[in-house]
Amino acid sequence: MTPHHATQNTGALADVRVIELGQLLAGPYCGQLLGDQGAEVIKIEDPATGDPMREWGREKPYGKSLWWPIVSRNKKSITANLRTPEGQQIVRDLIKDADILLENFRPGTLEKWGLDYESLTEINPRLILVRVSGFGQTGPYAPRAGYASIGEAMGGLRYVVGDPDGPPSRTGISLGDSLAATFATLGALSALHSRERTGRGQIVDASIYESVFAYMESLIPEWEIGNYQRERTGPTLPNVAPSNVYPTSDGDSVLIAANMDTVFRRLAVAMDKAELAEDERYATHSARGGNDKELDQIIADWTINWTAEDLLAHLVEHGIPSGRVYTSKDILADPHFAARDAIIRVPDKTFGEFPMQGVFPKLSDTPGEVKWVGPDLGQHNDEIYRELLGYDDAQMSDYLGRGII
């Protein structure tokens, strides 16, 4: 760890320094997660363009991305042209006293720049290199460009998402990138823990397709042993019932998940149809799975007589997992989100205050926090170059004049 800067941060990772070279999402979201828990994250961006994420997002009020302030929160932005020898030396200077170097370039890029792990560990043997890519650092596909959509398809997710009569679909977010970043974070923390025993850093190799694949449950043995291929099933899961979205009298809908035997018995009582739990067609998990369409219709015929609000209150009273399908407006109005500070508001010079997700998970003794939104390009150049690395006026002027920083 790097105790000389531990007093500047709070959180479980307050003594960890991360140098982030990545762009867009798979690498930077890992940086966000580490920064949320207190790590000092120094993000290096191209001086001419910055991270393209600064321009991404579905809506851009005032010409500003609404995604950048979130994924780059808590980070310090400096600029460096990594395609130049001077920019590459900046990385070497920074990793002398860093714990983690994070990157999500195409495999081979760091090596092309003379920043291979072997060379970096000659400077800092304790350095952990976290590498996030589409297909991993090895294997025949390693050199290929890989985005989340490709990893989601290759990892098996896209094939099973969507309606049965429609094409493979997506989830509406860049799920593959976020999963890869989460696994990269897990790898980084594991490597930090291992370093406490060995004194050495190591490479963390996280790929998008494997991160997606890791979530695919029993997909492989189902095919190889059971000769069963999962297909698209819309809002339900095969052989898991009842677990669906059911209509209400006010035009809304409620999701009910009562597929466990004990929970289904409670649902039957709540429906005033206790005999359903004794019916051989519905008495067990397997039986309900084989008669899911008939059971869904019985439940829908019952829920359509209730408003969503009354139905949910009734289901909660009987201990049945249930809920509405939330929009952004619903999330903002929900008292549970408010009670747990799941939505926070951070000062922002453009928007006044910026609403975003809080820090998850919540730690009791060393909670994470969001100290600032995503910074301006090069906002922390003076702090890092002058105060941390000791660059003088002449060197700063030279680098600025030549577009190095």
Q: What is the pLDDT along the chain (405 residues), one digit of tens a residue?
A: 644 443 456 899 999 999 999 899 999 999 999 999 999 999 999 999 999 999 987 777 878 899 999 999 999 999 999 999 999 999 999 999 999 999 999 999 999 999 999 999 999 999 999 999 999 999 999 999 889 999 999 999 999 999 999 999 988 899 999 999 999 999 999 999 999 999 999 999 999 999 999 999 999 999 999 999 999 988 888 889 999 999 999 999 999 999 999 999 999 999 999 999 999 999 999 999 999 999 999 999 999 999 999 999 999 999 999 999 999 999 999 999 999 999 999 999 999 999 999 999 999 999 999 999 999 999 999 999 999 999 999 999 999 999 999
Token pair of 63 as six digits: 């010409």
Q: How far is CA 69 from CA 55, 99, 184, 404, in A?
A: 11, 24, 21, 25
Report DSSP state, residue 63: G
Look at residue 58 in the predicted model and tell me its pLDDT.
72
Q: Which of 161, 78, 171, 99 is nearest to 385 (CA)?
A: 78
Alpha-carbon span 384 to 364, nearest angstrom: 31
Report DSSP state, residue 247: E
If you search the block for the tokens 């019932």, which residue do you land on? 241
Q: Which of 153, 186, 146 is nearest to 171 (CA)?
A: 153
Look at residue 1 in the predicted model and tell me its pLDDT.
62
Look at residue 400 in the predicted model and tell me its pLDDT.
95
Domain spanning 3-215+343-401 has what CATH number?
Answer: 3.40.50.10540
Look at residue 8 in the predicted model and tell me its pLDDT.
57
Q: Which of 82, 58, 81, 80 is nearest to 68 (CA)?
A: 58
Count CB neighbours of 301 within 10 A.
12
Report DSSP state, residue 4: G
Count CB neighbours of 360 within 10 A.
10
CA dihedral 392→395→400→9, nearest 10 degrees, is -40
Residues marked as catalytic: 177
Alpha-carbon span 291 to 271, nearest angstrom: 18
CA dihedral 358→361→364→370, nearest 10 degrees, is -30
Query: 132 near 189, Cβ under 8 Å?
Result: no
Q: Detail the DSSP E strand segments found in 202-335.
A: 203-207, 243-247, 253-257, 322-323
DSSP string for residues in 103-120:
E-SPTTHHHHTT--HHHH
Name the burial class of residue 289, with classes exposed (0-12), middle (13-18) and buried (19+) by CB atoms within 10 angstroms of its CB: middle
Alpha-carbon span 113 to 85, nearest angstrom: 8
The answer to whether the predicted template modeling score (pTM) of the entire model surpasses 0.85 is: yes
Q: How far apart are the first and last CA of the chain?
A: 27
Look at residue 56 in the predicted model and tell me its pLDDT.
85
Which residues is 356 bridged to in the sheet? 344
Domain locations in the chain as residue ranges: 3-215+343-401, 243-247+253-323
Look at residue 111 in the predicted model and tell me its pLDDT.
97
Alpha-carbon span 268 to 273, nearest angstrom: 5
Token pair of 51 as six digits: 């991270």
Backbone angles phi, psi at 22, to 5 degrees: -75, 175
**Sheet architecture: strand order including 17-20:** 75-79, 40-45, 17-20, 100-103, 128-133, 203-207
Name the burial class of residue 261, with classes exposed (0-12), middle (13-18) and buried (19+) by CB atoms within 10 angstroms of its CB: middle
Query: 353 near 288, Cβ under 8 Å?
Result: no
Our CA angle for 329, 332, 337, nearest 5°, is 140
Alpha-carbon span 104 to 134, nearest angstrom: 9
Which residues is 325 bridged to in the sheet? none
Alpha-carbon span 226 to 344, nearest angstrom: 47
Domain spanning 243-247+253-323 has what CATH number?
Answer: 3.30.1540.10
